[in-house]
Amino acid sequence: DSGVTQTPKHLITATGQRVTLRCSPRSGDLSVYWYQQSLDQGLQFLIQYYNGEERAKGNILERFSAQQFPDLHSELNLSSLELGDSALYFCASSVGFSGRDEQFFGPGTRLTVL
């Protein structure tokens, strides 16, 4: 158990809908990262937050947004869903933001868009 929690574990929805994925980092970690893992693209970095502020942005679509709340949990919002958004979404947490810290991964949320 990494100490990172993600809910829900599974999510099935329809095209055009909007969903919210939730992540709680390990106690004491200030950074939260979101990743997408799809069959054709593999693992990709989406976005990073550090202590409530956006720190780094990767291949995140404009239809997707995220935030980190004062209690450090984070939410990833996916809207106008398309079939191609079906994937495993992981969050990870670390103590710092430098990229030199070990990242601890949550169990993932499997999103299926029908």
Partner 1 sequence: KNEVEQSPQNLTAQEGEFITINCSYSVGISALHWLQQHPGGGIVSLFMLSSGKKKHGRLIATINIQEKHSSLHITASHPRDSAVYICAASRPISSGSARQLTFGSGTQLTVLP
CA angle in degrees (0–180, nearest 5) for 72-61-65: 30
Closest approach, Cβ 92 to partner 1, in A, equals 8
Using the rule CB under 8 A, is 51 a contact of partner 1?
no
Using the rule CB under 8 A, is 61 a contact of partner 1?
no
Tokens of 66: 């995220």
Q: Which stretch binds partner 1 (CB under 8 A): 19-27, 36-44, 63-71, 75-83?
A: 36-44
How many helices (DSSP H) and strands (DSSP E) are in the chain? 0, 11
The two most distant CA atoms of the chain are separated, in Å, by 39
Cα distances (angstroms) measured from residue 81 to each of 51, 58, 97: 28, 19, 30
Contact between 26 and 104 (Cβ < 8 Å)? yes
Q: Which stretch binds partner 1 (CB under 8 A): 13-21, 22-30, 42-50, 67-75?
A: 42-50
Using the rule CB under 8 A, is 42 a contact of partner 1?
yes
Using the rule CB under 8 A, is 75 a contact of partner 1?
no
Q: Which residues bind partner 1 (CB under 8 A)?
A: 2, 33, 35, 42-45, 48, 55-58, 88, 90, 92, 97-105, 107-108, 110
